[in-house]
Structure 1
Amino acid sequence: MKKIFFIVLVITGLLFTSLSVFAQDANFHIYLCLGQSNMEGNAPYEAQDTIVNPRFQVLSAVDNKELGRVKGKWYPARAPLCRQNTGLTPADYFGRTMVENLPENIRIGVVHVAVGGCKIELFMKDKREEYIKTAPDWMLNTLKEYDNNPYARLVEMAKIAQKEGVIKGILLHQGESNTGEKDWPEKVKSVYENLLADLNLKAEEVPLLAGEVVNADHEGTCAAMNPIIDTLPQVIKNSVVISSKGLSCAADHLHFDAAGYRVLGRRYAVAMLKMMGIELPTTKEVLNNTVAAPSNMHGCDFPRLDKDNRAYFRIFSPDVKRMQVDICGKKYEMSKDEQGWWTAKTEPLVVGFHYYFLLVDGFSVIDPMSTTYFGCSRMTSGIEVPEGKEGDYYRPQQVPHGQIRTCTYYAETQQRFRRCVVYTPADYDKNKKKRYPVLYLQHGMGEDETGWSTQGYMYNILDNQIAEGKCEPMIVVMESGDIEVGFRPRPGKDVNEERNLYGSSFATLMINDLIPYIDETFRTYTDREHRAMAGLSWGGKQTFDITLTNLDKFAYIGGFSGAIFGVDVKTAFNGVFTDAKAFNKKVHYLFLGCGTEENMGTEALVKSLRGMGINVDYYVSQGTAHEWLTWRRCLNEFIPHLFK
């Protein structure tokens, strides 16, 4: 009896061990990928194709010294997926699109076996040996990597994959080498049915997705094969054909180019998601469930934002090969449909203002549906992700509104005409005898004198505060600061010295040309008690450089994320901080602000100044970085303290 009990325990233990070793993760979805050169990957991959979500994995079907992969092991699915010296494939962006549109707990894995130039017979059990006898010499080395049996290698790897996940579908791209063969669908059926049998899969649970070859609309050499491929669902019930319409191709018109592969891969994923009951939203649904960005050109529906602050872009450009949206350096691939419409959806964006560009076949352009702004040293598109009610301070309200004036003046120190933007409060033209204090407000590197009025909405901030009695009516002057073009040190020069020279020409111009022009042109108070200066980023550095060496002209100073680095407060600006009592008497208000998500050294500077006995007000914008929302908030905090 004891012996029988022991045997039962052993069997039970082995059973649980077996279940543990071969336990499948139902949330690890596996897809088998097979075919010839377009599945193998003919287009060179780019840097972006090597960055991949770790939820997308590839089971290496061969050893790959290039990437340090070992046959039968899982790796992040960066290109190349197939073998060493292959390129981008539809599987690359199939997997990426799947993980983008499935819950975070779902992983995607691909098992990838493909041989360039092969006929479908290479994957047929009863035709393989006969076909290999006729294989061209250039194919032989590839076949050796699969032990002359790519089908068997695919099954071998699939069985390894089944120990960890569940096979959910089969992706095929093949047909160029069988062009014109009307029995091709039947041959594919035999391969499909053999895979189902060898892997113990059910046809109703594992669909076959087959892509068309390069389309006739791009003069595809084998485009005549597409009508045959399109009949596949008549032969294999649980199959779908992926259109190649509109997809760009290589010069040989046999292979897709990288852009074509990316879009084709997304089309495979869209079809698979649809079969899973997940349909990507139509344009109508996007319109119904999103709102137009407030930064759009009047009458333009896109870009749009959903409740999670994801942005949706839509552009019609049928002849373009590749299009991306570049938001502050983060690039999103756009997908083209059969009609030539390109679309993209971003990750959730933080509230505030974001510069962006469209990358059209690698060339950076502005979006014709966005308001344009000067930033990044050029005209750019911008998208405003709105705050809630807390952002009303920079939105227009039912209050008296001032004016933004563009003024041209001649600068003697530079012997040329210049432009400045001037805000005058609502009552400026009503009371011709009233004089006003002046705030000189500077932008940051790569922006110009329009930045504060377009990106910063300073006129709304002033209008609203003046109407509520929070701040004094004032004139605000904005100039370019000679920093429209980003910092570029001259070759062979000391970088630190060059940095100190960057924008330094503005100091002389402001003191000798700009302030006299403003005082002569507008009804200003001309004494230091009624003059302030503030700036963001590099404009903050300019503010310190100008005001702290001209305290006979300024009594109020502000720095918003100021680029004020490496300042020794004991020696800087001719030791102006060493006599705290004198400084605090002259400077009626010193303000420094920054965002929690940036590191401009503002907090350290504040601590140093306070350690010297300097009165400085410190503001931190919660949840914002080096961006316009930080600076709007800083301005809103700064101006109530001026000219009191």
Structure 2
Amino acid sequence: MSSLIWLVLLSCSTLVISTTNASHDNASHGKSIFILAGQSNMAGRGGIKRGMWDRYVPPECQSSPKVLRLNANHKWEKARPPLHHDIDYLKTCGIGPGLAFANSVLKKNVSIGDIGLVPCAIGGTQISEWRRGGPLYKQLLSRAHAALQGGGVIRAILWYQGESDTRSQEDAKLYKTRLEKFFTDIRSDLKLPELPIIQVALASAEGPYLNEIRKAQLEIDLPNVKCVDAKGMKIGYDGLHLSTDGEVHVGQMMADAYVQFMG
């Protein structure tokens, strides 16, 4: 694609973003779009053992005609687990929190219309890899722009990340600053300065600095950012990833947090 065509498309996408807002009054005019980002527990590892998904889909994660996902080719399709199978494609994906979140929101009888989920999470990634200008950041923006092409409103970012940053004391020390900058930058580039963000405080870690990362997550003090705590959720056989039940519970907690934004 030529740089001229890309600039035209980007300008059109930016126009769509800047001329819509997060008001729920116009939900019927298009999809309510939610961006799913972070690392493996957002991508979904529920039901995975020895590198294979058991293919069990809990009732809370069943498909609905009102819930779509944006696939890797930027096309909308009916959302079915695993939501991230063609995004986090180097790893085996299973049940994540996305569908439990969407179905829970729909059950709350809020005026939201159809839901469009935009998977962007990549397993094993650190917060520094999500910095502005990096490949993951650019991919998130590109997929957000693509999601808006058929109409709709970006309602929130759902963020679950940090396990990889527990390996290094230096990364743990810088985590809060880096996370706040990521949230601020992505809102700025989406031209949605008050976009709700729902993040998850870790339940598990790859390294010894779990408490430091959790403290940073729980102390984020930005407007319209809510944190749900995964501590105590059931962990899978590998000691790192949430079980299917844990993923479902986190998705439901994120739905509860989102409804609070609407209140």
2:256 to 262, 267, 270: 270
Q: Which has the larger radius of gyration?
A: 1
Distance 1:275 1:103, change over 3 A: closer
Match of 1:160 in 2: 146
Match of 2:163 in 1: 176
1:29 to 28, 32, 56: 32
Matches of 1:102 and 1:150, distance apart in 2: 34
Alignment of 1:456-475 (within 5 A): none
Structure-1-length-normalised TM-score: 0.32
Quick check: 2:67–2:102 contact (8 Å CA) kept in 1? yes
What is the identity, as a one-letter code, of the residue corresponding to 2:106?
Answer: V
Match of 2:114 in 1: 107
What is the identity, as a one-letter code, of the residue corresponding to 1:123?
Answer: W
Distance 1:173 1:47, change over 3 A: closer
Matches of 2:219 and 2:66, distance apart in 1: 34
Question: How many angstroms does 1:57 deviate by?
Answer: 1.3
SS of 2:215's partner is: helix
What is the identity, as a one-letter code, of the residue corresponding to 1:167?
Answer: I
Matches of 2:96 and 2:193, distance apart in 1: 27
Quick check: 2:203–2:232 contact (8 Å CA) kept in 1? no
Distance 1:47 1:90, change over 3 A: closer
2:217 to 198, 207, 229: 229
Matches of 2:114 and 2:129, distance apart in 1: 30
Match of 1:627 in 2: none
Q: Does 1:201 align with 2:192?
A: yes
Matches of 1:98 and 1:112, distance apart in 2: 17
Quick check: 2:27–2:111 contact (8 Å CA) kept in 1? no
Q: Does 1:46 align with 2:56?
A: yes
What is the identity, as a one-letter code, of the residue corresponding to 2:197?
Answer: L
Post-superposition CA distance 1:276-296 (Å, at most 9, x none): 11xxxxxxxxxxxxxxxxxxx
Question: How many angstroms does 1:120 deviate by?
Answer: 0.8
Quick check: 1:244–1:264 contact (8 Å CA) kept in 2? yes
Matches of 2:237 and 2:95, distance apart in 1: 16
- After superposing on structure 2, the runs of 4+ consecutive aligned residues of structure 1 that deviate more than 4 Å are 22-25
Matches of 1:153 and 1:41, distance apart in 2: 19
Q: Which structure shows the higher helix fraction? A: 2
2:85 to 83, 86, 89: 83
Question: How many angstroms does 1:194 deviate by?
Answer: 2.1
Matches of 1:105 and 1:113, distance apart in 2: 22
Quick check: 1:221–1:254 contact (8 Å CA) kept in 2? no
Matches of 2:216 and 2:193, distance apart in 1: 25
Matches of 2:38 and 2:180, distance apart in 1: 14
Q: Does 1:210 align with 2:199?
A: yes
Structure-2-length-normalised TM-score: 0.76
What is the identity, as a one-letter code, of the residue corresponding to 2:228?
Answer: I
What is the identity, as a one-letter code, of the residue corresponding to 1:72?
Answer: H
Distance 1:168 1:247, change over 3 A: same
Question: How many angstroms does 1:202 deviate by?
Answer: 2.3
SS of 1:106's partner is: coil
Matches of 2:204 and 2:93, distance apart in 1: 22
Post-superposition CA distance 1:79-122 (Å, at most 9, x none): 01112441111112111111111347621111111111110111
SS of 1:271's partner is: helix
Matches of 1:117 and 1:73, distance apart in 2: 26
1:56 to 58, 67, 72: 67
SS of 1:266's partner is: helix
1:248 to 228, 234, 248: 234
Matches of 1:105 and 1:95, distance apart in 2: 10
Matches of 1:169 and 1:95, distance apart in 2: 12
Post-superposition CA distance 1:492-539 (Å, at most 9, x none): xxxxxxxxxxxxxxxxxxxxxxxxxxxxxxxxxxxxxxxxxxxxxxxx
SS of 1:211's partner is: strand
SS of 1:31's partner is: strand
SS of 1:184's partner is: helix
What is the identity, as a one-letter code, of the residue corresponding to 2:131?
Answer: M
Alignment of 1:138-157 (within 5 A): 149-157=135-143
Distance 1:104 1:167, change over 3 A: closer
Matches of 1:32 and 1:101, distance apart in 2: 20
Post-superposition CA distance 1:525-574 (Å, at most 9, x none): xxxxxxxxxxxxxxxxxxxxxxxxxxxxxxxxxxxxxxxxxxxxxxxxxx
Percent sequence identity over aligned pairs: 27
What is the identity, as a one-letter code, of the residue corresponding to 1:116?
Answer: G
Distance 1:89 1:161, change over 3 A: same
Distance 1:196 1:273, change over 3 A: same
Question: How many angstroms does 1:265 deviate by?
Answer: 0.5
Post-superposition CA distance 1:589-618 (Å, at most 9, x none): xxxxxxxxxxxxxxxxxxxxxxxxxxxxxx
Matches of 2:196 and 2:225, distance apart in 1: 5
Matches of 1:221 and 1:199, distance apart in 2: 35
Distance 1:250 1:155, change over 3 A: same
CA RMSD of aligned residues (A): 2.6
Distance 1:76 1:222, change over 3 A: farther
Matches of 2:98 and 2:74, distance apart in 1: 18
SS of 1:183's partner is: helix
Matches of 2:209 and 2:58, distance apart in 1: 30
Distance 1:125 1:153, change over 3 A: same
Distance 1:108 1:222, change over 3 A: farther
Match of 1:532 in 2: none
Distance 1:47 1:250, change over 3 A: closer
Matches of 2:185 and 2:112, distance apart in 1: 31
Unaligned segments of structure 2, at least 5 residues? 1-11, 21-25, 48-54, 87-91
Distance 1:54 1:150, change over 3 A: same
Distance 1:86 1:169, change over 3 A: same
Matches of 2:251 and 2:77, distance apart in 1: 19
Distance 1:100 1:188, change over 3 A: same
Quick check: 1:221–1:253 contact (8 Å CA) kept in 2? no
Unaligned segments of structure 1, at least 5 residues? 1-17, 63-70, 129-148, 278-644
SS of 2:241's partner is: coil
Q: Which structure shows the higher strand fraction? A: 1
